[in-house]
Amino acid sequence: EALLCVARALRSWLGEGCAEPPARPTLLCVRYTADTAAPGALEYEASGAGLASALCKALAAELPSLARAAAVHVPRASTTEAIGSAVAAEARVSCALDMDVAYDEAGERRVQRYRTAGATLQSAAAREEQEPDTR
């Protein structure tokens, strides 16, 4: 329910009703990296953390006025300073394809990029048109 409230607030804030449209914001969903062996991990995932990646992708698709939406995964043992550094680093990223990002204990950034299914299907269709029909 809280996630729906965030989505509604973003939609109204970024909507056409704004007298002066704001700069395109970046939405970062920061969560701990999944670790099913950790005590309380299943409760944490069930409380909504497991939806962070899907939520960010859905918001990016539904709200094109967002510059970027990304799930940022940090280790459970991260200090407040380490989490702040990860958030500051992600705030400077401009590639909208970086929707799922993880930081390890050393602060190394790993990213999984997503492309829309439409673009993937379009490029596959273009390749098929270029290949000779061997039937």
**Residue 108 amino acid letter:** E
Residues 6+ apart with CB under 8 A from 73: 31, 32, 33, 34, 100, 101, 102, 103
- Locate 43 and state its tokens: 């409760």
| Entry pTM | 0.64
pLDDT, averaged per 10 consecutive residues of the chain (135 residues), comes to 58 55 75 73 72 77 82 88 90 86 92 66 66 57
Q: What is the pLDDT of residue 3?
A: 53
